[in-house]
């Protein structure tokens, strides 16, 4: 097997002691030795390849603690991007309809048109298009526009008809169908995971061929940003079957953790109806995923106190996706089956549902080191963080919200006081609660350096510093996307730090990110190494071969 010596740069190991070794020696896919350059040159095999860092910084490759791989590839290849500037072109309803009309003109009648990433809070009208507006685009194509958060959308008449949604269709628990308050006619709006059904899944309209095309596109994007391990954090049966189609001995060029839908267990992965899993080492089944609430942009995140400027007087605090009893049943079921649970909880009342359920599950079935995890946790209170620490619950913060929606949190969603502490990573750190940070791609793109900046500098897109006392250090932000991200899903023995015996997954950065934190976003990924192989390279590096001494 080939050996490589990495030297002549700043190496941040991200181990327990934040070691900064002089050099790293790898053999094949594995880190063989870490220490002084002189010692490693003495023990390296004949013909070892020299990788001169030339003063640059090397860290463990980034790990995505929560996202929906390969959804970004699906958007790029198959869907109509309705994001607002600078990520897209939509500034109002008419510009969104124009893009949908363009897609319809080149799509055969009867085939679906799917628009994505439209944010009602970022366009002039402050809403999604109506059924009637989408009917103006086409009545011969089913059209579905899903919100940037993934928690609601709008459909034209044909799409509603094909999904069996009629004027008198009852609202499901945790969801609702928009209706005209005077006539009761459907407006096209569909809110909540339960109401959207299959249209809310990231693999909606994706067949096997499209799946692997989207997979490859997302893989290449993530590797270019130094990310070698990611998640599909809401895996339907169909999505798992796509992943399971890869032969057990084939390397897809990327490693993933898959989080099946919790409500589908145990039938999904065990018993007579279980998916025939090929045990490919690059795809690992991980925690099971649950929800308690929705999204802040839609004011469906579930809060204990009303929104700063409520848009729906009937739901001033948002809405829960499940009753305490139903949620308790799902948590207890998964806990008793031995699964780790990741639960989407945006609002603090949504988090209470999960914390209470875990506390009851542990009372009935004590279990050490379960690492049940709150996903997003943007409105967590200090008393909740203390309870989580006592119960062994961890959290992954959606820190990218500070930049993308921080000003709207301040002005509309939460108001100044609560907005100042969204994604309260510093509060968690002060009490010793281990956490990670994430982008939730494709809600926001997976960009680890920018994400770190969101947690370190907490600057909104409008230039406001949101929560000075919730800022964390650059090192904490990097650890939250390397070793802490590995720990959160029980992968700390395999990846996440530069230590002997771990996978050789590395990222080479253009500058020392620890210097001048206000310039963090100037840092670029120059190269990504996955399992000992360079899989992305922005510019040439100095290489050569050497001999043992």
pLDDT one-digit tens code per residue, 151-199: 899 999 999 999 999 999 999 988 899 999 999 999 999 998 899 999 9
| CA distance linking residue 429 with residue 386, whole number of Å | 11
**Residue 61 — pLDDT band, cuts 50, 70, 90?**
very high
Q: Is the pLDDT of residue 122 over 60?
A: yes
In the chain, how many H helices and how many E strands? 18, 25
CA distance from start to end of the chain:
19
Average pLDDT, the chain: 95
| CA distance linking residue 374 with residue 269, whole number of Å | 23
Q: Is the pLDDT of residue 487 over 70?
A: yes
CA distances from 355 to 215, 362, 396, 422 (A): 34, 11, 14, 18
Q: Do 232 and 239 meet the contact criterion of CB atoms below 8 Å apart?
A: yes
Q: To 5 degrees, how large is the angle CA 177–CA 180–CA 185?
A: 75
> Residue 459: its pLDDT value, please?
98
Q: Do 7 and 50 meet the contact criterion of CB atoms below 8 Å apart?
A: yes
**210-229 pLDDT, tens per residue?**
999 999 999 999 999 999 99
Identify the weakest region by mean pLDDT among 136-140, 199-203, 423-427.
199-203
- Number of Cβ within 10 Å of residue 163's Cβ equals 17
Class of residue 373 by CB neighbours under 10 A (exposed 0-12, middle 13-18, buried 19+): buried
**Higher-confidence residue: 278 or 219?**
219
Q: Is the pLDDT of residue 502 over 60?
A: yes
Residues 6+ apart with CB under 8 A from 437: 65, 396, 397, 398, 399, 423, 425, 451, 452, 454, 455, 477, 480, 481
Identify the weakest region by mean pLDDT among 87-96, 329-338, 457-466.
87-96
Quick one: tokens of 41? 């040159």
> Residue 515: its pLDDT value, please?
97
What sign for the dihedral angle of Cα 359, 362, 363, 364? positive
What sign for the dihedral angle of Cα 134, 135, 137, 142? positive
> Residue 518: its pLDDT value, please?
96
- Number of Cβ within 10 Å of residue 500's Cβ equals 12
Q: Is the pLDDT of residue 547 over 80?
A: no
| CA distance linking residue 113 with residue 108, whole number of Å | 10
Mean pLDDT throughout 480-505? 98
Residues 6+ apart with CB under 8 A from 329: none
**Residue 270 — pLDDT band, cuts 50, 70, 90?**
confident
- As a whole-number percent, the residues of the chain with pLDDT over 90 amount to 91
> Residue 533: its pLDDT value, please?
97
Identify the weakest region by mean pLDDT among 271-285, 457-471, 493-507, 511-525.
271-285
> Residue 467: its pLDDT value, please?
97
> Residue 544: its pLDDT value, please?
58
| CA distance linking residue 454 with residue 400, whole number of Å | 6
**Residue 542 — pLDDT band, cuts 50, 70, 90?**
low
**3-state secondary structure (DSSP) of residue 518:** helix
**Residue 543 — pLDDT band, cuts 50, 70, 90?**
low
Mean pLDDT throughout 313-342? 96
Quick one: tokens of 135? 């009917």
Residue 70, preceding peptide bond in cis (omega within 30° of 0): yes
Alpha helices in 178-302 (DSSP H): 193-196, 208-224, 237-244
| CA distance linking residue 423 with residue 412, whole number of Å | 17
Report the predicted TM-score, pTM, of the whole model to 2 decimal places. Answer: 0.94
CA atoms within 13 A on the CB side of 150: 21
Output DSSP code: residue 224: H
Residue 44: phi and psi, rounded to 5, are -70, 145
| CA distance linking residue 240 with residue 236, whole number of Å | 6
Q: Is the pLDDT of residue 286 over 80?
A: yes
């Amino acid at each position: 097997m080939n050996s490589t010596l990495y030297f002549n740069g700043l190496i941040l190991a991200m181990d327990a002691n934040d070691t900064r070794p002089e050099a790293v020696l790898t053999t094949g896919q594995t880190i063989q030795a870490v220490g002084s350059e002189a010692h490693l040159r003495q023990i390296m095999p004949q013909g070892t390849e020299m990788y001169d860092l030339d003063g640059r910084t090397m860290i463990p490759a980034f790990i995505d603690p929560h996202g929906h791989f390969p959804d970004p590839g699906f958007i790029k290849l198959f869907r109509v991007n309705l994001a607002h500037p600078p990520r897209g072109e939509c500034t109002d309803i008419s510009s969104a309809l124009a893009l949908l009309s363009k897609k319809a003109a080149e799509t055969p009648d009867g085939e679906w048109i799917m628009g994505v990433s439209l944010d009602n809070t970022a366009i002039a009208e402050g809403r999604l298009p109506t059924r009637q507006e989408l009917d103006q685009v086409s009545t011969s194509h089913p059209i579905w526009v899903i919100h940037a958060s993934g928690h609601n959308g709008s459909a034209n008449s044909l799409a509603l008809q094909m999904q069996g949604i009629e004027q008198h269709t009852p609202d499901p628990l945790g969801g609702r169908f928009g209706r005209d308050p005077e006539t009761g006619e459907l407006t096209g709006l569909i809110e909540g995971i339960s109401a959207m059904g299959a249209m809310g899944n990231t693999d909606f309209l994706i067949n096997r061929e499209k799946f692997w095309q989207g997979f490859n596109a997302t893989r290449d994007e993530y590797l270019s940003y130094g990310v070698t391990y990611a998640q599909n954090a809401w895996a339907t049966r169909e999505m798992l079957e796509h992943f399971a189609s890869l032969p057990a001995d084939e390397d897809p060029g990327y490693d993933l953790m898959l989080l099946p839908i919790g409500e589908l267990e145990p039938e999904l992965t065990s018993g007579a109806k279980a998916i025939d899993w090929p045990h490919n080492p690059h795809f690992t089944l991980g925690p099971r995923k649950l929800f308690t609430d929705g999204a802040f942009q839609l004011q469906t995140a579930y809060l204990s106190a009303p929104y700063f400027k409520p848009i729906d007087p009937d739901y001033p605090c948002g809405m829960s996706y499940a009753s305490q009893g139903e949620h308790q049943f799902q948590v207890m079921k998964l806990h008793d089956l031995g699964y780790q649970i990741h639960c989407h909880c945006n609002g603090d009342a949504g988090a209470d549902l999960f914390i209470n359920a875990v506390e009851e599950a542990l009372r009935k079935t004590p279990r050490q080191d379960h690492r049940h995890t709150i996903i997003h946790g943007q409105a967590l209170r200090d008393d909740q963080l203390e309870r989580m620490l006592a119960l062994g619950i961890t959290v992954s913060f959606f820190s990218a919200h500070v930049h993308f929606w921080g000003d709207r949190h301040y002005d509309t969603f939460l108001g100044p006081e609560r907005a100042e502490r969204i994604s309260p990573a510093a509060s968690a750190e002060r009490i010793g609660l281990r956490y990670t940070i994430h982008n939730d791609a494709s809600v926001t793109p997976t960009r680890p350096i920018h994400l770190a900046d969101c947690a370190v500098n907490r600057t909104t897109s409008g230039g406001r510093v949101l929560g000075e006392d919730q800022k964390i250090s650059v090192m904490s932000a990097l650890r939250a996307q390397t070793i802490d991200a590995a720990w959160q899903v029980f992968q700390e023995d395999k990846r996440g730090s530069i230590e002997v015996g771990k996978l050789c997954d590395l990222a080479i950065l253009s500058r020392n990110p620890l210097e001048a934190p206000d310039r963090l976003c100037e840092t670029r990924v120059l190269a990504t190494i996955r399992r000992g192989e360079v899989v992305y390279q922005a510019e040439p590096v100095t290489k050569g071969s050497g001999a043992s001494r």
